[in-house]
Amino acid sequence: MIINRNSSMMSRKTSLALDLRVSSIMGSKNLNILRWEILTTLSDNTINQRIQERSGDIKEQVVAAIKESGKFSLQLDESTDVSDNAQLLVYVRYQGKSDIEEDFLFCKRMETTTTGEDLFKLVDSFIKEEGLRWDQCFSVYSDGAPAMLGARQGFTARVKQVNPTVIVTHCLLHRENLASRKMSIELNTVMEDVIQIVNFIKSLALNSRLFSQMCSDMQSEYEHLLYYSSVRWLSRGKVLKRVFDMRTEVEIEREEICTGIKAFRTRVVA
């Protein structure tokens, strides 16, 4: 309580000192205006408004660049976030002034179902609202989900109905991810061992902190291992590469943990 009270008193004294200094320079009237501007600037509504304004400005710039290019390609993915809300993410590629540009176009929440018709209506409404046309869409990239590549009711099927010349491509990264699921027994064993090692080190907060501190003391390039997630298509290679780059640190940590477990078992038996 004494510490909190002293801290509060120091904070008041500092605030009063700043008010007197600003008041002596700018005047009491300007000081009140400055206080109001600070409070307004930090309000949630103002921050939200500024985010919306900047987001809208970026979207207008991207749409203007697409219109100037005349042709564009879309890349789509529908995923569920941590709140169990279905989100549709759309990226766009187009010819810029000097090179091919790739930008994030929009992300919108799916209200109910996530069928191919729902996805098409959402993208179609955005394209019409922004003054774009489907005949400007050169190609569409997506994963292999039925809602995307369905022959009759899929998103790409609906796009072909309004633009028969559009090129539909199954995402190459998704193909590689599907192919990597059927690995040989030797490779699968290595992957399972790596996942167990990473999970063992990172599952306990103490082990994770000790491992990070050890890497810091050794001046290692990295201080943390990466979790493997089957949803993230590129995580398999990144996890393997990180463990390989930190193989010395991982081996030291494994030996220390095993030594600690053996000592604990000895004390329990004794």
Q: Specify the DSSP class assigned to residue 152.
A: T
What pairs with residue 100 in β-bridges? 95
What are the tens digits of pLDDT across the range 249-262?
Answer: 888 877 776 665 55
Residue 88 has what pLDDT? 86
In sequence order, the 6+-apart residues with CB closer than 8 A to the CB of 254 are: 197
pLDDT at 217 over 80: yes
Q: How many CB atoms lie within 10 A of CB 59?
A: 16
Predicted pLDDT at 17: 52
Lowest mean pLDDT of 116-120, 196-200, 230-234, name the range.
230-234
Higher pLDDT, residue 248 or 188 = 248
pLDDT tier at 234 (50, 70, 90 boundaries)? low
**pTM score of the predicted model:** 0.59
Residue 2 has pLDDT above 50, yes or no: no
Q: Is the pLDDT of residue 165 over 80?
A: yes
Report pLDDT for 36.
58
Residue 4 has pLDDT above 50, yes or no: no
Q: Which of 5-14, 37-46, 119-128, 231-240 has the lowest mean pLDDT?
A: 5-14
Q: Is the pLDDT of residue 159 over 70?
A: yes
Concatenated DSSP letters of 205-232:
HHHHHHHHHHHHHTT-S-S------SSS
Tokens read off for 143: 């994963």
Mean residue pLDDT of the chain comes to 77
pLDDT band at 221 (very low <50, low <70, confident <90, very high): confident
Rounded to whole angstroms, how far apart are CA atoms 208 and 268? 25
Span 34-91, pLDDT tens digits: 565 555 555 677 777 878 888 888 888 889 999 998 899 998 888 777 777 888 888 9
Mean pLDDT computed over 121-146: 87
